[in-house]
Structure 1
């Protein structure tokens, strides 16, 4: 019987690698409920389990030409278990962050507040890496709301130097935030 199963797997794997959508649909129909049961057993959440199984199938299709699979059922079951544990870990981390960020009596999490805090921490991290003078000028300008003239007088530099340092700091922030997709946030933040 094992030989037949291996032949079944090999035929479907080869067909999927060649982009056979019909074979993929048959594999999907054959394994969907079994994989959903595996994921649901760990998540106890039908929607989350469905999303995980869907993502595994999407990944299978997108990476079909690169995958080296011997036993399709074992591969899919392992992929679903791994994805389930990854999702549960991510969910637990989010819950830990919520508990750490918000007071213990207020568990109504406002995602915008958390996003703003993460963004602020990220920006602060970028500012910390700026050259000392540039960092100081930027902090005086943005955090202490001092004018260019006040900063220039306090640091004994010209207003042009203040302006140049702020421009340099903003440029570094834009570059770093653009890399992680926060361009819009930068506009709103500054």
Structure 2
């Protein structure tokens, strides 16, 4: 079996990490940080978040270095860890976004929410709905009032599911911007 210089360097790095060598860790950091940052940035499109994910990966590598398997391919491990860190963050954002959407929907369209001037709020909601572009209003009404999912809405209106998703997002954004009382309430409880 032929070992190339990358294999030798990898084995030395793993050995150094397992021995808690600060010099080896610094060398690994300097070798991979810039490329890992670019890799994370491609996923997150945000400099601070990309830095955070990469730094979290390096912290995790250092704290678990003593138990790192000898046969670890460090480059693959680092890239895989950064990728998973980015995907976890994006999933977290999606959950937050979905929760905001569901809470907005529940607050705006539920008859059980008590406000000091419920009638005035309902009138404002109706006005906001009327101000939406026709397609956004149709999509939102099908989703909220008829309880259809994106696929069903796309079939009924003969548009793509992605278009349905976009219309819903834009409609909710408009409603949140137009109804600050509800938006503040949403932010407070998320």
Per the shorter chain, which TM-score range? 0.5 to 0.7
Question: 1:102-159 CA deviation, whole Å, 9 max, x = no partner?
Answer: 2431165654322xxxxxxxxxxxxxxxxxxxxxxxxxxxxxxxxxxxxxxxxxxxxx
Q: 1:61 to 1:111 in 2, by over 3 A?
A: farther
Partner-residue secondary structure (3-state), 1:65: helix
**Higher relative contact order structure (alpha carbons within 8 Å, sequence separation ≥ 6):** 2
Q: Shift of residue 70 of structure 1? A: 2.5
1:94 equivalent to 2:100? Answer no
The answer (yes or no) to whether the contact 2:40–2:53 under 8 Å persists in 1 is yes
Pairs within 5 Å for 1:19-58:
19-58=20-59
Name the counterpart of 1:106.
176
Name the counterpart of 1:119.
none
Gaps of 5+ in 1: 115-190
Q: Of the two, which has the highest radius of gyration? A: 1
Moved over 6 A (4+): none
State the alpha-carbon separation in 2 of the partners of residues 42 and 101 from structure 1: 27
Name the counterpart of 1:61.
62
Partner-residue secondary structure (3-state), 2:33: helix
The answer (yes or no) to whether the contact 2:17–2:65 under 8 Å persists in 1 is yes
State the alpha-carbon separation in 2 of the partners of residues 27 and 49 from structure 1: 18
Partner-residue secondary structure (3-state), 2:65: coil
Partner-residue secondary structure (3-state), 1:70: coil
Gaps of 5+ in 2: 109-171, 178-182
State the alpha-carbon separation in 2 of the partners of residues 96 and 15 from structure 1: 44
Q: Shift of residue 2 of structure 1? A: 5.7
State the alpha-carbon separation in 2 of the partners of residues 73 and 79 from structure 1: 10
Question: 1:41-75 CA deviation, whole Å, 9 max, x = no partner?
Answer: 11111111110000000000111112225211111
State the alpha-carbon separation in 1 of the partners of residues 34 and 5 from structure 2: 22
State the alpha-carbon separation in 1 of the partners of residues 91 and 12 from structure 2: 35
Q: How many residues align?
A: 114
